[in-house]
Amino acid sequence: MTIATLIAAGRLDERLLDAALARLPRARFVRWVDEGDAADIEVDADQSSIRATFEGWSGVDIIAHPPGPREKRLLVADMDSTIIGQECIDELADYAGFKPQVAAITERAMQGELDFAQALAERVALLKGLDVAVIEQCLAERIRPNPGAATLVRTMRAKGAETILVSGGFTAFVAPIAKQVGFDRFVANVLGIRDGKLTGRTEGRIVDSRIKHDELMEARARLGLMREATMAIGDGANDIALVTESGMGVAYRAKPALAAVADARLDHNDLSALLWAQGIPRADWVEA
Residue 125: count of CB within 10 angstroms of its CB = 13
Which phi and psi angles does 240 have, rounded to 5°? Answer: -60, -50
Please indicate whether residue 78 is annotated as part of the active site: yes
- Between the CA of residue 234 and those of 41, 101, 103, 265, what are the distances in Å? 26, 23, 18, 10
Rg (CA), the chain: 19
The gap from C-alpha 277 to its chain's centroid, in whole angstroms, comes to 14
d(CA 108, CA 105): 5
DSSP 3-state percent helix, strand, coil across the chain (nearest 5): 45, 25, 30
**Is the Cβ–Cβ distance between 171 and 190 less than 8 Å?**
yes
Q: Name the DSSP letter for residue 200.
A: E
DSSP string, 38-97: EEEEEESS-HHHHHHHTTT-TT-EEEE--SS-SS-SEEEE-IIIIIBSS-HHHHHHHHHT
Which one of 40, 78, 263, 267 is the catalytic residue? 78
> What is the separation, in whole angstroms, between the first and last Cα of the chain?
36
Which one of 37, 40, 61, 80 is the catalytic residue? 80
**Is the Cβ–Cβ distance between 275 and 250 less than 8 Å?**
no
Amino acid code (one letter) for 147:
P
- For residue 198, list its beta bridge partners: 193
- For residue 31, list its beta bridge partners: 40
Residues forming the active site:
78, 80
